């Protein structure tokens, strides 16, 4: 880890009111009050990783003082790797040194935007809008810089009355015009690609925006091979099952280009997860978690940094797909020891809800799932209904499979309430994700009541609805994919051919999932397709960790040992729970 001190960060406040040599210049200098109201970040610049800053390379000349150029480039590199707090420190330091530098205010406003994360909070929106207002009040520096500032202002304009996505669309349209106007400026195209991905409709299964963004970045990559924004935004643009293979070269490069960024260490795991490359996903997140711990320590946080918990969730998921319950359980145990996190973001709430749910649901530990307790701290759950729903979904599935119909009904009603809350908040995407859980829970309750056809029909609808949109980047995967659960249900109904089709469709989107491969192998075996069963079982063994001890692996090996000399249709049982406590199927 390395801590860097910008030489002017600790300069006295007089730098905010630099003496100007004419009355006209004095009028152009922002007032002390306006600068103070921005509440700009200050302090040491913190990066963790190599002993020298390694954040990639880029060039973006600005018209401010020559001595600010290096620091502006540093701030932009941090911005491209989503190190937003540290980027703001750099841009704020430029403002303290040269308060008449318009692009420094643009940098502050970009630092509070974070296009691919959760929408900016009200204080962040106010800061960004005020920063741009100052920039636009300064004498124009150059037509191009004026265009950059105006383009970003389209996002902040009317933020009190216009929703987040419409403003993202406005920004994308403005950046398209800017990139067309300055075709020789790579930053314009790079930021346009970022804007395209941020404004993409999650329900658009053609992925037109993401493909366009990826193509723009891919065209620039040969000329700027170590530009952090190009590599990073390629990963985001292609963070979709159908497109993920195109991002694999970028995923394998990003951490080496920007190892001083915790996010750069983590982000490749999005693609590794999409492609089921569990060893690479684990290595990526071990590095990012270590860097996040370092950052929390050096920043003097009272608790852990939110980026650490984001990495933990991805790490838990990868360990589970290797069947490595020991390592997976360690992540849950470690999470339970964390009592303070800064800031308490949507990522933190997601990790606290998803990590325990993943462990018990992936392992079919239904009693434990039914008894899961939601941590009372450090998450204010009333602010995160989508994340809270994960917890109640796990409890519902546990109650169904342990024949506790009353408890299942209670959890189902809670999910409905949380869905309604999200609808009232006009968060259609998250409301739909919870609705999938509502439908899934109802389907399994109907199955438990003996209403097989109604249950299967409802489960198919839930799977289709989940398939109609993409997952949020905060999560490596749904805690249990709906189409995989459809396969589980059909297998429990002794309909192996239909179950196999469901598993195979799900594996196209969730590559190398442990339960998906096992379910597909079991369904193929029960359908009398020993060759296909063997292929799926062998694939499962190929991804399993050497230390994996899940009982399914023992049964898989027993089946494979009976092949190919024998075509015996060995039956493998799975723990479904409930009235069929040990039935042959999920």
Please enumerate in sequence order all residues whose Cβ is within 8 A of that of 520, keeping only pairs 6 or more positions apart, or say none: 487, 500, 503, 504, 507, 532, 536
Domain-embedded: residue 478: yes
Q: Which domain does 173 fall in, by range?
A: 2-234+258-265
H-type alpha helices, 122-207: 122-137, 143-156, 164-181, 186-199
CATH code (residue 402): 1.25.40.10
Number of helices (H) and strands (E) in the chain: give both, helices first: 28, 4
The residue among 521, 537, 554 that closes a domain is 521
Tokens 């249950």 belong to which residue? 455
Phi first, then psi, for residue 186 (nearest 5°) are -65, -35
Tokens of 432: 């739909």
Tell me the C-alpha distance between 26 and 17, whole Å.
9
CA distance linking residue 94 with residue 365, whole number of Å: 55
Q: Do 39 and 180 fall into the same domain?
A: yes
Structure tokens at 106: 């643009």
Per-residue pLDDT of the chain (586 residues; tens, 9 = 90+): 444 444 333 333 333 333 333 334 434 689 989 999 999 999 889 888 777 789 999 999 999 988 899 999 999 999 999 999 999 999 999 999 999 999 999 999 999 999 988 889 999 999 999 999 999 999 988 999 999 999 999 999 999 999 999 999 999 999 999 999 999 999 999 999 999 999 999 888 899 999 999 999 999 999 999 999 999 999 999 999 999 999 999 999 999 999 999 999 999 999 999 999 999 999 999 999 999 999 999 989 989 999 999 999 999 999 999 999 999 999 999 999 999 999 999 999 999 999 999 999 999 999 999 999 998 878 999 999 999 999 999 999 999 999 999 999 999 999 999 999 999 999 999 999 999 999 999 999 999 999 999 999 999 999 999 999 888 889 999 999 999 999 999 999 999 999 999 999 999 999 999 999 999 999 999 999 999 999 999 999 999 999 999 999 999 999 999 986 544 444 444 444 444 432 333 4
Residue 222 falls inside a structural domain: yes
pLDDT in the model for residue 22 = 34
Question: Is 530 inside any structural domain?
Answer: no
Residue 317 inside a domain? The answer is no
* Sign of the dihedral through C-alpha 122, 429, 512, 358: positive
Q: pLDDT digits over 345-403, tens only?
A: 999 999 999 999 999 999 999 999 999 999 887 899 999 999 999 999 999 999 999 99
Burial 443-470 (b: 16+ CB within 10 A, else e): bbbbbbeeebeebbebbbbbbebbbebb
Q: Is position 441 within any domain? A: yes
Class of residue 177 by CB neighbours under 10 A (exposed 0-12, middle 13-18, buried 19+): middle
Instruction: Please state, in angstroms and as integers, the Cα–Cα distance from residue 398 to each residue in 43, 261, 392, 445, following that order.
Output: 48, 39, 10, 11
Q: Is the peptide bond before 564 cis (omega within 30 degrees of 0)?
A: yes
- Least Cα distance to 208 among 218, 224, 197 occurs for 197
Answer yes or no: is 298 within a domain: no
Model-wide pTM > 0.85: yes
Q: What is the per-residue pLDDT for 563?
A: 83
CA 478 to chain centre: 12
Asked if 110 and 85 count as a contact pair (C-beta separation under 8 A), the reply is no
Longest dimension (CA), the chain: 95
Kindly state whether residue 515 falls inside one of the protein's structural domains: yes
Domain boundary among 496, 521, 546: 521
Task: Supply the angle between the helices 69-80 and 228-237 in degrees, to the nearest 10.
Answer: 20
229 and 370: one domain? no
Q: Is 3 helix (H, G, I), strand (E, B) or coil?
A: strand
Name the burial class of residue 337, with classes exposed (0-12), middle (13-18) and buried (19+) by CB atoms within 10 angstroms of its CB: exposed
Domain boundary among 521, 543, 559: 521
Which letter, b or e, does each residue of 372-392 get, where b requires 16 or more Cβ atoms within 10 Å of its Cβ? beebeebbebeebbbbbbbbb
pLDDT in tens, 399-433: 999 999 999 999 999 999 999 999 999 999 999 99
Which pLDDT does position 27 carry in this prediction?
45
Task: Count how many domains the chain has.
Answer: 2
Report the C-alpha gap between 440 and 151 in whole angstroms.
43
pLDDT value of residue 565: 53
pLDDT number for residue 496 = 98
* pLDDT on residue 564: 66
Q: Which residues pair with 2 in a beta bridge?
A: 47
105 within some domain: yes
């Amino acid at each position: 880890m390395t801590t860097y001190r910008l030489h002017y960060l600790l300069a006295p406040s007089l730098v905010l009111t630099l003496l100007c040599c004419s009355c006209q210049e004095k009028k152009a200098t922002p007032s002390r009050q306006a600068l103070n109201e921005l509440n700009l970040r200050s302090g040491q610049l913190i990066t963790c990783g190599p002993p020298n800053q390694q954040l990639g390379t880029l060039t973006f000349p600005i018209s401010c003082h020559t001595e600010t150029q290096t620091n502006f480039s540093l701030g932009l590199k941090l911005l491209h790797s989503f190190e937003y707090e540290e980027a703001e420190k750099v841009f704020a330091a430029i403002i303290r040194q040269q308060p008449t530098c318009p692009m420094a205010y643009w940098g502050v406003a970009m630092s509070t935007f974070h296009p691919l994360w959760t929408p900016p909070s009200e204080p962040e929106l106010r800061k960004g809008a005020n920063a741009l207002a100052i920039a636009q009040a300064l004498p124009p520096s150059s037509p191009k810089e004026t265009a950059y500032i105006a383009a970003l202002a389209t996002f902040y304009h009317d933020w009190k009355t216009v929703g987040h996505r419409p403003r993202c669309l406005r920004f994308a349209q403005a950046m398209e015009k800017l990139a067309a106007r300055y075709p020789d400026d790579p930053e314009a195209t790079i930021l346009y690609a970022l804007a395209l991905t941020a404004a993409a409709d999650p329900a658009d299964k053609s992925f037109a925006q993401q493909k366009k963004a990826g193509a723009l970045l891919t065209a620039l990559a040969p000329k700027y091979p170590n530009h952090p924004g190009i590599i990073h935004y390629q990963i985001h643009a292609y963070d979709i099952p159908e497109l993920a293979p195109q991002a694999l070269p970028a995923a394998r490069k990003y951490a080496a280009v920007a190892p001083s960024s915790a996010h750069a260490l983590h982000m490749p795991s999005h693609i590794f997860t999409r492609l089921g490359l569990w060893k690479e996903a684990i290595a990526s997140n071990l590095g990012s978690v270590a860097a996040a711990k370092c950052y929390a320590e050096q920043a003097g946080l009272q608790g852990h940094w939110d980026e650490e918990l984001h990495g933990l969730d991805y790490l838990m998921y990868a360990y589970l797909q290797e069947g490595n319950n020991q390592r997976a359980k360690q992540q849950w145990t470690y999470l339970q020891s964390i009592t303070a996190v800064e800031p308490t973001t949507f990522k933190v709430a997601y990790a606290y809800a998803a990590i325990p749910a993943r462990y018990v649901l992936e392992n079919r530990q239904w009693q434990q799932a039914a008894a899961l307790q939601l941590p009372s701290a450090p998450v204010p759950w009333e602010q995160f209904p989508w994340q809270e729903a994960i917890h109640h979904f796990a409890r519902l599935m546990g109650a169904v499979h342990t024949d506790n119909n009353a408890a299942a009904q209670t959890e189902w009603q809670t999910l409905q309430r949380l869905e309604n809350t999200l609808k009232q908040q006009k968060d259609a995407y998250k409301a739909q994700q919870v609705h999938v859980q509502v439908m899934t829970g109802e389907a399994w309750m109907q199955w438990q009541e003996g209403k097989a056809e109604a249950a299967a029909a409802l489960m198919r609808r839930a799977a289709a609805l989940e398939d109609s949109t993409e997952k949020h980047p905060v999560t490596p995967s749904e805690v249990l994919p709906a189409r995989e659960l459809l396969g589980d249900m059909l297998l429990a109904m002794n309909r192996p051919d239909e179950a196999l089709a469901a598993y195979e469709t799900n594996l196209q989107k969730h590559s190398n999932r442990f339960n998906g491969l096992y379910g597909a192998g079991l369904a193929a075996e029960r359908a009398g397709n020993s060759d296909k069963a063997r292929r799926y079982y062998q694939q499962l063994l190929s991804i399993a960790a050497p230390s994996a001890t899940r009982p399914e692996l023992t049964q898989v090996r027993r089946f494979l040992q009976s092949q190919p000399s024998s075509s015996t249709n060995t039956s493998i049982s799975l723990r479904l729970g409930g009235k069929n406590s040990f039935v042959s199927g999920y």
